[in-house]
Chain A
Amino acid sequence: MTSKPNSYDNILEIKDLQTSFFTKDLEVKAVDGVSFAIPKGKVLGVVGESGSGKSITSLSILRLVEEPGKIKGGEILFKGENLLEKTEAGMRKIRGNEISMIFQEPMTSLNPTFTVGQQISESYIIHEGLNKKQAKQRSIEMLKLVGIPSPEKRINQYPYELSGGMRQRVMIAMALACNPELLIADEPTTALDVTIQAQILDLFKNLQQELGMGVLLITHDLGVVAETCDYVAVMYGGQVVEYTDADTLFKSPKHPYTVGLMQSIPPHDHDIEGDLSVIKGSVPSPAEMPIGCRFAPRCPFATDLCRTKLPALETDEEGKQIRCWIYSDEWDGAPEVNIHANKERTT
């Protein structure tokens, strides 16, 4: 690499990341060539089909993928340095410090045998060298910030005594306690109601603006993406299929999967008759991962080309990326594709 140690435009840049699980006789390519970048102080939203590799991508960044999973290749540049070349001791310094993570399943990542207060305090004690009493005070403030009522009482409770949404906020408080430079948040607001969600997302935004924190926000709520993200990466079958700024994504989505995704959201501001529009079929099993475009078996526009050859992630002059044959010179289907004409209503 030619750049100087501290000159970088992207707080995080992932290049061609490959993470696989090696089961009995099968390689599950959970992340299969993912690339994206988060410019300093910006929020990247990652959306995509369930099982498309969003969580494994984020676990890979922190090198927390568990056996039989393995990062096979690629680069993960954090502040210009490749995390895949760091020692385990070096990673430990980064985790929960420069990069912190909010996990998708709060119950499994909170320790059931410690009180909420003990768990948040730990971060202040380790990273800021506060004593127990100071750490407790800071923990109470942080719980208040994430909207937990009576934090001075809650702090002595165990995770099982809290509601789902409260546990999630405890996780958020823990992740923010160390003032990270990069926050990875895997579905951080799924268990929250919208008034609290608005408050948490506001908190992210403030911290991001005040401290220049970069955020990788995994969510399935496109409303959340529209309101909080600067950029969006859409994932399917272990790959990024579309990457663009958020405004463009909502105004003119290009990938047929992205379009299908948008059409299947039940609207909250009007009623729709009959079934919701869906993308037919399901995510391909890793054993039968299509050789062509991963989305071809479910795509209403798929041609022979799509079914036999994997499209590359093409970058245009503005840095927007798309992985779909429709937008290439090799396209062998109808010359004018109405990308919005793929309404499909089956169960």
Chain B
Amino acid sequence: MQTKKELLKVTDLKQYFPIKGGILGRTVNHVKAVDGVSFTVYEGETLSIVGESGCGKSTTGRSILRLDEPTDGQVEFNGTNLLAYNKKEMNSVRKNMQIIFQDPYASINPRQTVRQVLTEAMEIQNSVPKSERNDRVLELMETVGLGPHQADRLPHEFSGGQRQRIGIARALSVDPQLIIADEAVSALDVSIQAQVINLLMKLQREFKLTYLFISHDLGVVRHISDRIIVMYLGKIVEIADKKSLFENQMHPYTRALLSAIPSTNKENKKERIILKGDVPSPIDPPKGCRFHTRCPFATDLCRTEEPVLRTADGMLEGHQAACHYMEEIKTGEHQPTTV
């Protein structure tokens, strides 16, 4: 087997947003949206990020592209540090890193037709010769399941799901290496979602595309990913290959998350772990383990000392979780401390 090529390497990434307040509008505090996140994305793989709303998934994606300037950390793409680039250099590297957004309406210019949206993207990156752009527009539309009769329509004339496909077509229009897909299929209904997922996976096989796939749909994530990151309140709590994550998850939050998936299968229902306690805020994250305010297993140790990502016995290489008691919870030696 060849060694895997590191396409994107994120080290200790931090993104703190200032909160202004008072009559002077001074910075009174910070939202620690992403607080020391490190991971590597290998060429040709799909690495997914899952986790609670507001835990920093989108911010991680945006900071990598420097759509929001990171507070601290390193982002290496193809071995070079993106944070050292000036604006112009950054723009040229963006051709290789595309993002498909969560909210299709907000990310597409409402006054441009589909044709204009796609042509403009090719123009900016000069990725396709002028004479071929028109053909390419129709080809891209077909690829994402839109008809040529829709090329001259404005975004508001499409349904939510159709607009999302315009976003995907736009990302594909410049032949990128890495696509950050932020809830890119969440707004699609399932039969179209299945087509788009098959499409993304096919494009990946054909063009060696790499995906950083942000989603909260664990069924989709299970199908599309090679590896998965679970975030909680600005930090990674577990990272694993797909099989380990779904069959040998170690972190109590990951377990709660997997148990909360709504299922159409009423017969074979797992017991749902209901999280209690206040959802903490990234403005004042809890001391110690950030999950301790909701974790059924928390002890004083959890409330004071922050657990680090580590691999315990019985976990595959590359599988890491950050919980003081993961071994003991697994064996049943450590029981829930709250009732």
Contact = CB atoms under 8 A, between A and B. Distances in A.
B57 to A, nearest CB: 9
A190 B186 contact: yes
Given A55-B159, A147-B279, A347-B198, A197 B260 contact: yes
A319 B8 CA distance: 56
A193 B51 contact: yes
A193 B191 contact: no
B266 A285 contact: no
B264 A55 contact: no
Interface string A269-291: 10110011111001001010000
Contacts of A220: 187-190, 193
B145 interface: yes
Contacts of A153: 19, 281, 283
B157 interface: yes
B162 A50 contact: yes
B17 interface: yes
Given A164-B58, A198-B260, A149 B198 contact: no
A261 B191 CA distance: 6
A195 interface: yes
Q: How large is the interface on A (under 10, 10 to 19, 20 to 34, 35 or more residues)?
A: 35 or more
Interface stretch (B40-48, B75-83, B87-95, B213-221): B213-221
A196 interface: yes
Interface stretch (A131-139, A222-230, A301-309, A332-340): A222-230
Interface in A245-276: 250, 260-262, 264-269, 271-272, 275-276
Given A105-B105, A191-B53, A51 B158 contact: yes
A165 interface: yes
B219 A191 contact: no
B186 A163 contact: no
Interface in B169-208: 183, 186-195, 197-199, 201-202
B145 A266 contact: no
A226 B268 CA distance: 13
Contacts of A165: 53-54
Interface string A133-159: 000000000000001111001001100
B223 A266 contact: yes
B36 interface: no
B21 interface: yes
Interface string B217-249: 111101110000000000000000010001000
A268 B218 contact: yes
Contacts of B224: 266
B281 A278 contact: no
B269 to A, nearest CB: 10
A262 B264 contact: yes
Nearest to B106: A107
Contacts of A250: 264, 266
Main secondary structure of the interface of A (DSSP, over half): loop
A346 B102 CA distance: 26
Contact of B262 (A227, A272, A278): A227
Interface string A40-80: 00000001111110010000000000000000000000000
Nearest to B182: A164
> Could you say which of A161, A165, A193, A223 has the most chain B C-beta atoms within 10 Å of its C-beta?
A193
B261 interface: yes
Contacts of A55: 159-160
Nearest to B57: A163
Contact of B279 (A52, A149, A279): A149
B216 to A, nearest CB: 4
A1 interface: no
Nearest to A227: B262
Nearest to A277: B194
B84 interface: no
Contacts of A23: 157
A152 to B, nearest CB: 10
Contacts of B281: 149-150, 153
Contact of B219 (A164, A166, A268): A268
Interface string B251-279: 00000111011111110100010110011
- 5 closest A-B pairs (Cβ-Cβ)? A50-B161, A165-B53, A223-B262, A264-B194, A51-B159
26 contacts: A50-B159, A50-B188, A50-B192, A52-B159, A149-B279, A149-B281, A150-B283, A165-B53, A166-B54, A190-B186, A191-B216, A193-B257, A194-B257, A195-B275, A220-B187, A220-B193, A223-B264, A266-B194, A266-B217, A266-B224, A267-B219, A272-B223, A275-B201, A278-B195, A345-B198, A347-B199
